């Protein structure tokens, strides 16, 4: 009988402790902020959404946009659009593109490059030059590496009239030097800087903007590093495809 009294005494003690809040077993539930039919958006969830509020929207306008969005989503689900194959493919494509974009953005942000005074000075000098460039075209990477089965054409133009890509290529070449192979949708190209001549004096020389040129060179250097990084991923991969 005394064991029963012990058990009763322990139960009373725990009940008293719980009553005083020492053992607080309450579950904290976030209060609702917006309710659209069965969809409840808590205050905590809304605060996270608020980070993405466009600057031109007021808080009330943003709330209205959320309500409108939820109404459209619910209508789409009611029509079972979310079960359609086209929707599944659309979600899959968006997921893949978003994943790739985040990866590339992070990699790009991690790259640190320097632009030297000599590089900027060379750009300024070339602005007053006409260049003769030999372009070699190959249909396969193997041919490009072996320098066989290719065709060629001669480009003669003022430096300022070249494309941004070609400008950066020739800036990294001395006369007689051949560039590395560049893969494009139209084949594999390499370039040789043949001659450096004076530019057409009839043309007005553009104003040299050191800051703009520096940013251009930084971007192109990062672009080249990204290409090298991409090739390294491919080289390390185990790839097979049916011919």
Distance CA 31, CA 45 (A): 10
77 and 143 within one domain? no
| 86 and 163 co-located in one domain | no
Q: Considering its fold, how many domains does the chain have in total?
A: 2
Q: Are 167 and 195 in contact (CB under 8 A)?
A: no
pLDDT at 30: 62
Residues 129 and 172 in one domain: yes
Evaluate whether residue 131 is within a structural domain. yes
**What per-residue confidence (pLDDT) applies to 1?**
47
Two tokens at 194?
A: 């043949």
In a domain, 130, yes or no: yes
> What CA–CA distance (Å, rounded) separates 34 from 44?
11
124 and 48 within one domain: no
User: In the prediction, which pLDDT does 164 show?
Assistant: 94
CATH number, domain of 128, equals: 3.10.50
User: Is this structure's pTM higher than 0.85?
Assistant: no
Same domain, 88 and 121: no
Per-residue pLDDT of the chain (243 residues; tens, 9 = 90+): 444 444 444 444 445 444 444 444 444 456 788 999 988 999 899 999 999 999 999 999 999 999 999 999 999 999 999 999 999 999 999 999 999 999 999 999 999 999 999 999 999 999 999 999 999 999 988 888 888 998 999 999 999 999 999 999 999 999 999 999 988 888 899 999 999 998 876 666 778 899 999 999 999 999 999 999 998 998 899 988 887
**Are 37 and 87 found together in one domain?**
yes
Instruction: Return the CA Rg of the chain.
Output: 33
In a domain, 183, yes or no: yes
CB 148 within 8 A of CB 129: no
How high is the pLDDT of residue 203? 63
**pLDDT on residue 90:** 94
Alpha helices in the chain (DSSP H): 2-19, 43-50, 59-78, 85-110, 117-126, 141-146, 164-171, 210-236
Do the domain assignments include residue 122? yes
Name the residue range of residue 48's domain. Answer: 32-95
φ, ψ (nearest 5 deg) of residue 55? -60, -30
The answer to whether residue 126 sits within a structural domain is: yes
Q: 145 and 213 share a domain? A: yes
pLDDT at 201: 66
């Amino acid at each position: 009988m005394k064991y029963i009294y012990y058990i009763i005494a322990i139960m009373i003690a725990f009940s008293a402790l719980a009553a005083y809040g020492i053992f607080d077993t309450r579950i904290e539930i976030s209060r609702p902020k917006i309710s659209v039919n069965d969809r409840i958006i808590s205050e905590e969830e809304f605060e996270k959404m608020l980070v993405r509020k466009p600057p031109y929207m007021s808080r009330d306008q943003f709330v209205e946009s959320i309500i409108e969005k939820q109404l459209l989503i619910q209508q789409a689900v009611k029509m079972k659009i979310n079960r359609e194959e086209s929707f599944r493919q659309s979600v899959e494509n968006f997921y893949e593109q978003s994943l790739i974009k985040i990866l590339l953005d992070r990699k790009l942000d991690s790259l640190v490059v320097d632009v030297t005074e000599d590089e900027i000075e060379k750009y300024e000098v070339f602005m007053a030059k006409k260049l003769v460039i030999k372009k070699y075209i190959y249909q396969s990477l193997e041919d490009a590496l072996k320098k066989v089965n290719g065709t060629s054409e001669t480009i003669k133009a003022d430096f300022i009239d070249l494309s941004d890509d070609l400008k950066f290529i020739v800036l990294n070449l001395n006369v007689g030097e051949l560039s590395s192979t560049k893969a494009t949708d139209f084949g594999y190209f390499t370039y040789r800087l043949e001659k450096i001549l004076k530019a057409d004096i009839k043309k007005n020389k553009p104003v040299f903007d050191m800051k703009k040129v520096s940013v251009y060179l930084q971007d192109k250097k990062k672009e080249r590093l990204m290409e090298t990084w991409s090739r390294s991923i491919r080289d390390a991969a185990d790839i097979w495809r049916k011919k």
